[in-house]
Amino acid sequence: MASRALILGARSSIAVALARALADAGWNLVLAARRVEELEPTAADIRLRWGTQVHLQEFDALALEEHASLPPTIQRDAGDFELAIAVFGYMGDQLAVRDDTSQMEQTLATNFVGAAVVLAHVANYMETQTGRCGIVGISSVAGDRGRQSNYFYGAAKAGLSSYLQGLRNRLASSNVHVMTVKPGFVDTPMTEGLEGLFLVASPQRVADDILRAYDRRQDILYTPWFWRYIMWVIRLLPERIFKRLKL
């Protein structure tokens, strides 16, 4: 029987690339997102191309009160799932977020609180399964060091990275592997129009890197690979120098 993967935030460009790559590898899919009906053409295409099962599930990262019921609902309607990938995120206007409380709340709640709560319930569900399971959280290189250009987003992603590290530590002796993914700049609608982008990767490149790393049971993935060294240099800069940089 084929394994099943749950993709949370399945309408994003990276999520769609992941869905296609997983289907090509023989996985059945649960695509979860807000306005999930918009994914029906994608689901139909995947079913036709790869003959895999695709279940659509309504999911809102900010509807925290519904997260506990998500795993049993999917289990009932689609079957057990062995892999969960949290892809959703929100960047917004990085100038507006400095003054707009609603933008602050949405940035922090979507990128950290929503992800942490839903993955907590996913982890509890997976601990009850007998086979090998995995959780993949999409964080960001923005969480490695706070920068003036996106410190609300970066702070939320830093929190998510720390959370995933703790979850990985908790589950290390279980059948559940937890992987943190830290992409650099990716060519998606979320980054469209942002200034200062360089070394921009395609969603397909990121998706392929994620699946390869997951197969190797890697703990932390920088994608593309060179971001590990870029961020290593940035983290080494003394604060007295770093705080004066326009990053």
Per-residue pLDDT at 243: 93
Classified as helix, coil or strand, 202 is coil
| 13 Cβ contact list (under 8 Å, min separation 6) | 186, 187, 188, 189, 203
- Per-residue pLDDT of the chain (247 residues), as tens digits, is 679 999 999 999 999 999 999 999 999 999 999 999 999 999 999 999 999 999 999 999 999 999 999 999 999 999 999 999 999 999 888 888 899 999 999 999 999 999 999 999 999 999 999 899 999 999 999 999 999 989 999 999 999 999 999 999 999 999 999 999 999 988 765 554 455 555 678 999 999 999 999 999 999 999 999 999 999 999 999 999 999 998 8
Residues forming beta bridges with residue 221, ordered by sequence position: 181
Per-residue pLDDT at 193: 46
Q: Where are the alpha helices (DSSP H) in the chain?
A: 13-24, 40-50, 70-77, 101-108, 115-127, 151-171, 203-215, 227-236, 239-242
Per-residue pLDDT at 134: 98
DSSP 223: E
What is this structure's pTM?
0.93
Catalytic residue list contains 153: yes
DSSP 38: G
The catalytic residue among 125, 153, 214, 222 is 153
| 137 Cβ contact list (under 8 Å, min separation 6) | 85, 86, 115, 119, 160, 163, 164, 178, 179, 180, 181
Per-residue pLDDT at 92: 81
Classified as helix, coil or strand, 8 is strand
What the chain holds in terms of domains, given with CATH numbers, is 4-242 (3.40.50.720)
